[in-house]
Structure 1
């Protein structure tokens, strides 16, 4: 991306050329001066040590910190270290930070060299600090039970959209005299709107405009001694509630379907502290399209459908970190790079448009055929898009790893015939008549069969047959280093085999293995490189056919299923707030052939939105406009004349 901070290193310290100020200070007499200042200002004056020790140890809990100005990440590292030392195991830290110009990964690592005491937390952050995009980026640090939600953008845009409940605020960033834009009424109004009773704040500055701004919106403000040469600083709290408000209990959730959508949804809900029960009619997990031995991970962009592209590139950066965090072995997940080529005139035009529009995001490069050949290790005949982080994953292994979470209970060979809402929650009726316990919420993730459980939902679900297979490794392709992708895909040889695929047959519901499909796959991959030998032994090995599930606009259905019968049929709705409240029934289906990439990202979004519906408001992964474009009933909204309600992004992401 092109919005990285432009630094000038003076005596080894990072200075912002935009604001002419240092990100942190050190003293010859005290090399850890910057870290000591962070601990004094932000950790001590938000009373974090004591507050974290008092979190419940017998149930899940969440603590949310919001920071203005991520900078070098020093405040986050110090907080993360203290969190690990003091917080109970079941607690989760959500650290939200707003940054208009983030450090490059290289600058971040260089800045952290000043603080050897933070080496372990720095390493954990730097492993995740990659592929950052404008907007919301969520980085998971599972070994610390923590998440970093990094908003990359102007605070003037981010703050009014912020939806969360904060326990503490780190008011950092450059001094008001250097960066007055951040210290505006919008910041203080956001704090008042998003603070929990007794939420605290701390800031290094004692400027009068900051003190007056905080007091004007209702904060109790104190002026206390600062650190080192800074004589004074500010801290305080949001007033307590009239009565003690206990946090709501985490909902108990049933998931129907154990493919990549169901397993991912279960994982992210369980990680947030929910008790999750997963039901599937099969004996094992991932028996449908998620059972293929290899699936390719890259964003197929078209530069013409903004919301589809937004979902693709946001998912891409998210899932590469997610699969890496699962600790999958090299036999189940590998980042080897991927070349996407345009073998036909139409595809070459698309490749050119995508490269022109999205190269600035840092996710891809446009390569000539000669450059692509050097990158691939085999001859390539056409210009390509190169995804350096392109990867493949074994979805069965990934699903199994997610299902091992201790908060997940697995119920195989349970075919669900009906869903019934009662006063105590939702109950599932099995095919044989057995009725389940009550659940606060149900998420339907069983692909095209979801329409049978939720009639009249307005979802159009189309089964799409796909067949992939393995072929013996070709000596001619032994030097292939990256995944090749066009109409089909071919992976570098592993254990004597190439993976190839996959056919795409909408409306075909058969899963028999077909020689014709095998020959079609061979034809597709033969066009990926002139070096591919079509006369080589290409016997069909380990072929597999499965059904995916698609939608008319090639976007998944993700979110609550609402009862629309009580809505007035008068003026068209323009605001989601006017819709009925969620009733505890959710859908997560229709990822088509892109589920391995988009489903985990959508699952993480859905898990946080579901918890918010039950009063546990956690930092969001997406904007409301993004959610609107994925709503399960978006086609109904349009039919009812509520086109303004479905308001996906109408522009491509900008730098």
Structure 2
């Protein structure tokens, strides 16, 4: 599996800014240095915003990718966000892309204490804090629609964070803010390897600004292709360094990016997620669904739950699982009619489950997990076992989630369109259907249609999954989903749904009542209960699509053609982040996942 670089042992390891406060301003205990001068706003403007020519870039209307090394308390971001908002005034049709890396992140309380000194940033800080979340380390993606700013916040050491960006051209930076502590005290930030990665990740017209004028920093930047000027510093500092990436003879485009027209095949959670993300980037999106209604496949079950089966190791999949889960939860929380924030319950039923619960408890993340003893489980839920409450998460109504995600002015959906293939013209893509007239004029195509991906990609594994619905009262009182070796969902319209079967060998997609009764027996055994209503059961059967290596697929399959799928049983937890990733590749904006994870889920990895 490709490498994902991290200084952390698992996605839930915590590292916060270690500070002492002097005159209500923070000083680092780790580096014995202050974070900024008293006149911080003027300092940030002088050292970062002006040398990086942000005003000129805004007026030009081109994409702006800021890369900050040293997020600190987020003050550089807040000052830049306010500057963008005040000076853009619709001059620039793009989102501002702001990427920042820091090994330690602040608490919300620390940020609020900083803003006490800068009340002019209170409004923009409140917008930031509503979405700021420290549930996991590594990459956190936050979009601020009212500001048209997308923040890619990476909690990692600088070198690992930069290495994880290599290999994806959409991660390239226009303007660097180099804001580590004094180079004599924070040498890891100012290594030649950092300058080398900066050079690789820089666009050909990239600029930088930094407070330091240290000779070895100047020499290091020059060594890796930067033109460096030593100029007057801010305030009492004699000098600072500014500069740009030396240009070769390649033409640097300053043209505004044209609005894209994107076709999406399918209307389940994968398709809806990627359409949602592309629409946020300003694209016009048209969805084509083969059936007569939205989410007609596996995303069309009456009710579903998120699936927080986290891992406590440092594998790429462990980080992907955590990042995608909390990213999805944040998006669904904006759709309260379709998503219920209840948390999720895990019940002990076997040695594997017991070990997993113990692993989660040992993370010591009481903000995320609560251990529940047998007495409390019996009292609250009527179950005879101990368990674990995952505090963030809940259950959702799949069709409504998909419908609300695509309820955007720039998203259109066409039903009864059975997609067949595509044809590329000189600059546009034509879509062909077996039962409708062709559609043309598309810049990009995304195939997110579940089992029909098998026509275009190898390595898929298609199985049959079934849910059972039971009418009437049950021997427990659940207002949240419960998982064990299987799951039980909260009652909906007097029906309790349980899941699910996993049939690798099947003849058709018709419901199989024998498999349904086996599921009831297994659920009774796993949860030590006796479900009622098993004589007259309801059933739902759908395809479940996975891959040979059990990882999802998301990315490019040829120029301007993309795919997302093979989400298995984690569709509602994985799809929003993977949709964001594919939309970022199309939009040439920074990816929300590392290049190592991107390679691990690359759609063509099974190609002969």
Report TM bin, short chain: 0.7 to 0.9
Equivalent residue for 1:203, pick from 183, 204, 210 = 210
Give the conservation status (yes or no) of the 8 Å contact 1:69–1:98.
Answer: yes
The CA RMSD over aligned residues, in Å, is 3.3
Q: Structure 1 residue 369 and structure 2 residue 367: aligned?
A: no
Partner of 1:591: 567
Deviation at 1:178, TM superposition (A): 2.5
Paired residue secondary structure (2:274): helix
SS of 2:189's equivalent in the other structure is coil
Cα distance change, pair 490–237 in 1 and its aligned pair in 2 (3 A): same
**CA contact under 8 A between 2:344 and 2:480: conserved in structure 1?**
yes
Partner residue in 2 for 1:623: 594
Given that residues 469 and 501 in structure 1 are in contact (C-alpha distance below 8 angstroms), is that contact kept between their aligned partners in structure 2? no
Deviation at 1:432, TM superposition (A): 3.1
Distance 1:445 1:583 in 2: 16
Q: Which residue of 1 is the match for residue 296 of structure 2?
A: 287
Q: Is the 8 A contact 1:342 1:349 kept in 2?
A: no
Tell me how far 1:264 sits from its aligned partner: 1.1
Q: Do the aligned partners of 2:47 and 2:209 also contact (CA within 8 Å) in 1?
A: yes
Deviation at residue 430 of structure 1 after TM alignment: 1.2
The answer (yes or no) to whether the contact 2:417–2:435 under 8 Å persists in 1 is: no
- Normalised by the length of structure 2, the TM-score is 0.86
Shift in Å, 1:380: 4.1
Does residue 102 in structure 1 map to residue 105 in structure 2? yes
* 1:363 Cα deviation after fit: 8.1
- Aligned counterpart for 1:432 among listed residues 424, 431, 435: 435
Q: Render the CA deviation track for 1:104-156: whole Å, top value 9, x for unaligned.
A: 33333333333222122212222222145343222222222111112222212
Q: Please give the secondary structure, in 2, of the residue aligned with 1:213.
A: helix
Counterpart check, 1:22 vs 2:29 = no
Q: Give secondary structure in 2 for the equivalent of 1:181.
A: helix
CA distance in 2, matches of 1:538, 1:117: 62
Distance 1:272 1:363, change over 3 A: farther
How far apart are the structure 1 equivalents of 2:107 and 2:225?
38
Question: How much has 1:343 moved relative to structure 2?
Answer: 1.0
Q: Could you tell me whether the CA contact under 8 Å between 1:460 and 1:552 is conserved in 2?
A: yes
CA deviations on 1:624-644 (whole Å, 9 max, x unpaired) are 33223223333345xxxxxxx
The offset of 1:171, in angstroms, is: 1.2
Q: Structure 1 residues 451, 24: CA separation in 2 closer, same or farther (over 3 Å shift)?
A: same
Out of 330, 339, 342, which is 1:321 matched to?
Answer: 330
What does residue 7 of structure 2 align with?
A: none
- 1:461 is matched with 461
Name 1:653's counterpart in structure 2.
none
Alpha-carbon distance between aligned partners in 2 of 1:244 and 1:633, rounded to the nearest angstrom: 31
The 1:96–1:50 alpha-carbon spacing in structure 2 relative to 1, beyond 3 Å, is same
The CA distance in 2 between the partners of 1:461 and 1:96, in whole Å, is: 36
Spell out the pairing of 1:22-421 with structure 2 (5 A cutoff): 22-26=34-38, 33-52=39-58, 54-56=59-61, 61-87=62-88, 88=90, 90-163=93-166, 164-239=171-246, 243-247=251-255, 249=258, 252-301=261-310, 306-324=315-333, 327-329=334-336, 331-353=337-359, 359=363, 364-365=368-369, 367=371, 369-370=373-374, 373=377, 377-421=380-424
Q: How far apart are 1:542 and its partner, in Å?
A: 7.9
SS at match of 1:505: coil
User: In the aligned structure 2, how far is the partner of 1:213 from the partner of 1:203?
Assistant: 13
Say which SS state the counterpart of residue 598 (structure 1) adopts: helix
Structure 1 residue 288, shift from structure 2 partner: 1.5
Q: SS of 2:550's equivalent?
A: coil
Q: Which of 554, 565, 573 pairs up with 2:550?
A: 554
Q: Is the 8 A contact 1:462 1:507 kept in 2?
A: no
Q: CA deviation at 1:65?
A: 0.3
Contact 2:418 2:436 in 1 (8 A): no
Query: What is the aligned counterpart of 1:6 among 18, 29, 34?
Result: 18
Q: Per the alignment, in what secondary structure is the counterpart of residue 235 of structure 1?
A: strand
Q: Matches of 1:307 and 1:542 in 2, distance apart?
A: 39
* Cα displacement (A) at 1:209: 3.1
SS of 1:463's partner is: strand
1:445 is matched with: 448
Instruction: Provide closer, same or farther for how the CA distance between residues 7 and 518 of structure 1 changes in structure 2, counting only shifts above 3 A.
Output: farther
Q: CA deviation at 1:508?
A: 4.0
Aligned twin of 1:572: none
Deviations 1:176-196 (A, max 9, x none): 233122122233333333333
Describe the shift of the 1:197–1:460 C-alpha distance in structure 2 as closer, same or farther (beyond 3 A): closer
Give 1:75 shift: 0.6
- TM-score between the two structures when normalised by the length of structure 1: 0.80
Equivalents in 2 of 1:103, 1:213: separation in Å?
Answer: 30
Question: How many angstroms does 1:462 deviate by?
Answer: 0.8
Query: CA distance change for structure 1 residues 35 and 533 in 2, over 3 Å: closer, same or farther?
Result: farther
CA distance in 2: counterparts of 1:114 and 1:522, whole angstroms? 60
In structure 2, the partner of 1:570 is none
Give the 3 Å change call, closer, same or farther, for CA 361–603 of structure 1 in structure 2: farther
Structure 2: which 5+ runs fail to align? 1-12
From the superposition, tell whether residues 167 and 305 of structure 1 become closer, same or farther in structure 2 (CA, over 3 Å): closer
Distance 1:378 1:12, change over 3 A: farther
Query: 1 CA distance for matches of 2:538 and 2:48?
Result: 57
**Matched residue pairs, number?**
588
Q: CA deviation at 1:354?
A: 5.8
1:598 is displaced (CA, Å) by: 0.8
Q: Which digits, 9 at most, give the CA deviation of each residue in 1:311-347, with x for residues without a partner?
A: 32221122122223xx312x32222221222313343
Shift of 1:24: 3.2
> 1:68 Cα shift?
0.9
| Residue pair 1:472, 1:539 contacting (<8 A) in 2 also | no
1:254/1:276 contact within 8 Å kept: yes
Structure with greater contact order relative to length (CA < 8 Å, sep ≥ 6)? 2
For the 8 Å contact 1:68–1:99, the answer to whether it is kept is: yes
Q: Name the SS for the 1:627 alignment partner.
A: helix
Gaps of at least 5 residues in structure 1 are 27-32, 562-581, 638-655
Deviation per residue, 1:185-242 (Å, 9 max, x gap): 2333333333334432222223333334334444344444444433443333334665
